[in-house]
Amino acid sequence: MLKRSFTSAPILRHPDPNLPFLVEVDASSCGVGAILSQKHCSPGKLHPCAFYSRKLIPAKRNYDVGNRELLPIKAALEEWRHWLEGAHHPFLVLTDHRNLEYLHNAKRLNAHQARWALFFTRFHFSVSYCPGSKNGKVDALSRKYEAKSPLNP
């Protein structure tokens, strides 16, 4: 039973460049997280291909919410650019920050966003909103670095 569980659970799969990718991202006050996934087989069961998590340095913790929520998209695209840049299919980025859905259509950008928007032009993707309650896996990756209090080790 245990052997079957380990081999049938959503285990890491090697990415297939012929299939579309899905990138789930999230940011917390202390870190960012992302998951690169693909649907394998015809029913389309989603399998993770890679995980990414990073602690934010103090300067990036001071970013406003918009920039902090955009940061994991930039970090994920940098981390997996060898898979995502020039991919055969456009890929989808899921975020729990609804304002990022309008990233490609924004008229006014601050300095960070303008620099990152130039980097994003190398990729063919769309951003879609996913409520935080359905974004639990990637949320856990972004909160991995939260400070532990003496009462909550």
Point out the least confidently predicted range of 35-39, 79-83, 122-126, 133-137: 133-137
Q: Which domains does the chain have, with CATH numbers?
A: 11-142 (3.30.420.10)
Q: Report the alpha-carbon distance of residue 117 to residue 92 in Å, rounded.
A: 16
Q: Mapping DSSP to helix (H, G, I), strand (E, B) and coil, where does residue 125 land?
A: strand
Q: How many whole angstroms separate alpha carbon 39 and alpha carbon 41?
A: 7
**Contact 130/98 with Cβ under 8 angstroms?**
no
Strands 45-55 and 21-27: unpaired
pLDDT at 65: 87
How far, in Å, CA of 5 to CA of 34, rounded? 24
Q: What is the pLDDT of residue 6?
A: 60
pTM score: 0.84
Please determine, for residue 153, whether its predicted confidence score (pLDDT) is greater than 60.
no
**pLDDT tens-place string over residues 48-105:** 999 999 999 999 999 988 888 899 999 999 999 999 998 999 999 999 888 876 777 7
